[in-house]
Every structure is written in structure tokens, then in C-alpha cells.
Amino acid sequence: MHHVPLQELRKVGKVLSERYVAPWSQLTFYIVGTNVFYQEDRDAAVKSTRPGHQHIMEFELVRVEGDVRKAVDQMRRRTTRQIGNVTRRKHVAGNQPVLDGTRVPTAAIWEFHAAGYPRESIVEEYPQLTLQDVDAAIAFERSRLPSAS
């Protein structure tokens, strides 16, 4: 199952019997590799059964998640210069033309337009876009059509 060697389990038993009087069934155990950790209750720190070998650093994942969400939201913000602008960048959407500051290919917008979707419905499908973006994508794709030459 977790492949913790019997020799290691014996060490765990020795450490726990020295430190913990209550039944071990009250503990929560964690296994990382072949190392065993335990916690007395949900509010207590996680402890190692191998003192000196492993240090446990606690951190609040909720706090990290909040910081990451802020960073992602900031990265998603588009400048007014980007709105309505078509660009092409290496390693973004397979080098296809996209609306600047997004990964939305102009060809995808054109397909909705060609299928008869109104501009407002296209924005509903891509909420990060504006009507100006949709117009720019349609104009760009229209200029690429063979009959436009």
C-alpha cells in the first residue's frame, strides 16, 4: 500500500510510545515517501516521527491562493491600447492572429460571425472581449478573404 518498511514503522512506534500516551487511533497520520508524520488534532502542528531529519513548514494555502488569484487577475487586465487590436505572437495560439491581450483567435470570432451570430452573442461567448474587439476580428478576417484582394 504505502510501502513503509517495517523497520521504519518500528521506529515510529518507539517515538510515539515515548511522546504520546493516549491511543494512537486519536492521531492523524501522513505518509510522505517512506516518512511518517502525525497530528494530534486538526489545530495542532504536524509532527515528524524522525526528529531532526525533517522540518515541517506550515503555510496557509488560502493565502497563497489569494495572492495567485490577484496576480492572475492583474495579468488578465487589458490596456485600452490592446482593445480592438489584432496581434500575432510566437507561442500564443499557435502563432495565429489573436485579439491583443487575449488568446482568442480572430478566426474563432469569424466563425461565429459567419454562422450568423450577432456581435453581442459573440461577446457573451467570450466575456473578456468587447464589441470593438469583435469588430476588429471580423474586419481582419474579412481582409484576408480571397475576394477582398
pLDDT for position 56: 56
pTM value is 0.52
The pLDDT, as a whole number, for residue 46 is: 72
Task: Tell whether the model's pLDDT for residue 142 goes beyond 90.
Answer: yes
Q: How many angstroms separate the CA atoms of 81 and 83, rounded?
A: 6
Q: How wide is the angle at C-alpha 110 spanned by C-alphas 108 and 113, nearest 5°?
A: 115
